Amino acid sequence: MVRVLEDSEVVSFFWAPCSRRVVTMAFDSDAGMCWSVLDIDGNRKRRLGSNFFPSRELVYFSWFFDQFAVSHPPISADGTRLVFAGHMGVGDGMPIASRAQSNVYVASLIEGGSVERVASGHFACWDARMRAAAV
């Protein structure tokens, strides 16, 4: 049996280390990009925060996501958080990406979680040496 869980224009995708969810980055029809979480157990898809404009470094990372994801994981070892860089939202009718510096954000992958700015920056990832405890 085949089930289609994501039908948008996906640019990159990442398995959470817990193997219970997949995180996708896709083009959004309004503007910019969007993150989505696909929960494998419940076959549910939900969006993380609002649209964003990725930093140049994140764009490059996304082109080669299959090669970089192991050494530069965007998802925490426990599978509960995503880290990324760019610009979130729109202000004064103009995309923030056109007038602000890039920021680093941490998004909760747990339902009802939020996206929070943690610092200025162009790229972020979790320490690849960290491993989740056996479940």
Residue 2 is assigned to a structural domain of this protein:
no
Number of folded domains that form the chain = 1
Which residues form the domain of 38? 10-120
pLDDT tens-digit map of 4-30: 766 778 899 999 988 888 999 999 877
Q: Is the whole model's pTM more than 0.85, yes or no?
A: no
Q: Judge whether residue 92 has pLDDT over 50.
A: no
Tell me, yes or no, whether 135 lies in a domain: no
Asked if pLDDT for residue 135 goes beyond 70, the answer is no
- Residue of higher predicted confidence among 133 and 49: 49
35 or 88: whose pLDDT is higher? 35
> Which stretches of 1-135 are assigned E, i.e. beta strand?
10-15, 21-27, 33-39, 44-54, 81-88, 90-91, 94-95, 103-108, 115-120
Average pLDDT for 94-101:
56
End-to-end CA distance of the chain: 27
Q: How far apart are CA 62 and CA 68, in angstroms?
A: 9
Q: Determine the Cα angle at 61 with ends 67 and 91, to 5°.
A: 155
Residue keyed to tokens 């994501």: 6
Please, which residues bridge with residue 10 across strands? 26
| Residue 110 falls inside a structural domain | yes
- The conformation of residue 113, written as its DSSP 8-state character, comes to -
The length of the chain in residues reads 135
Across the chain, mean pLDDT equals 84
In a domain, 132, yes or no: no
Is residue 126 in a domain? Answer: no
| The pLDDT of residue 64 | 94
Q: Is the pLDDT of residue 83 over 80?
A: yes
In this model, does residue 44 exceed pLDDT 90? no
